[in-house]
Amino acid sequence: MSKELFIRAITRFIAGVILLGVLLFAPAGTFRYPQAWIFMGILFIPMFGAGLVMMAKNPELLEKRLSVKETESEQRSVILFSGIMFLAAFITAGFCFRFNFMMLPFPVSCVAAVIFLIGYALYAEVLRENTYLSRTVEVQENQKVVDTGLYGIVRHPMYMTTLIIFLMMPLILGSVISFVIMLAYFPIITKRIKNEEQVLEEGLDGYREYKKKVKYRLIPFVW
Residue 195: give its domain's CATH number. Answer: 1.20.120.1630
Q: How confident is the model at residue 67, as a pLDDT?
A: 65
Q: Please provide the DSSP assignment of 13-59 as one string.
A: HHHHHHHHHHHHHHHHTSS--HHHHHHHHHHHHHHHHHHHHHHHH-H
Whether residue 221 is contained in a domain is answered as no
Biggest CA pair distance of the chain: 54
Structural domains counted in the chain: 1
Whether residue 218 is contained in a domain is answered as no
pLDDT at 140 over 70: no
Name the band, by pLDDT with cuts 50, 70 and 90, for residue 161. Answer: very high
Q: How confident is the model at residue 96, as a pLDDT?
A: 98
Whether residue 220 is contained in a domain is answered as no
Whether residue 9 is contained in a domain is answered as yes
User: Whole-angstrom Cα distance, residue 9 to residue 128?
Assistant: 19
Name the band, by pLDDT with cuts 50, 70 and 90, for residue 15. Answer: very high
Q: How confident is the model at residue 91, as a pLDDT?
A: 98
Amino acid at 20: L
Task: Print the domain residue range for 169.
Answer: 3-213
| Mean pLDDT along residues 122-130 | 85
User: Whole-angstrom Cα distance, residue 164 to residue 123?
Assistant: 10
Whether residue 223 is contained in a domain is answered as no
Whether residue 39 is contained in a domain is answered as yes
Name the band, by pLDDT with cuts 50, 70 and 90, for residue 144. Answer: confident
Whether residue 219 is contained in a domain is answered as no
The pLDDT tens digits for 61-104 are: 777 667 666 555 666 778 889 999 999 999 999 999 999 999 99
pLDDT at 5 over 90: no
Closest CA to 84 of 185, 213, 165: 185
Q: Which of the 8 DSSP states describes residue 103?
A: B
Q: What share of the chain in percent tops pLDDT 90?
A: 51
Residues 6+ apart with CB under 8 A from 60: 131
| Mean pLDDT along residues 43-63 | 83
Q: How confident is the model at residue 194, as a pLDDT?
A: 87
b/e burial code for range 124-154 (CB count within 10 A of at least 16 → b): eebbebbebeeeebbeeeebebbeeebbeeb
The gap from C-alpha 55 to its chain's centroid, in whole angstroms, comes to: 19
| Residue 219: C-alpha distances to residues 67, 122, 153 (Å) | 27, 14, 9
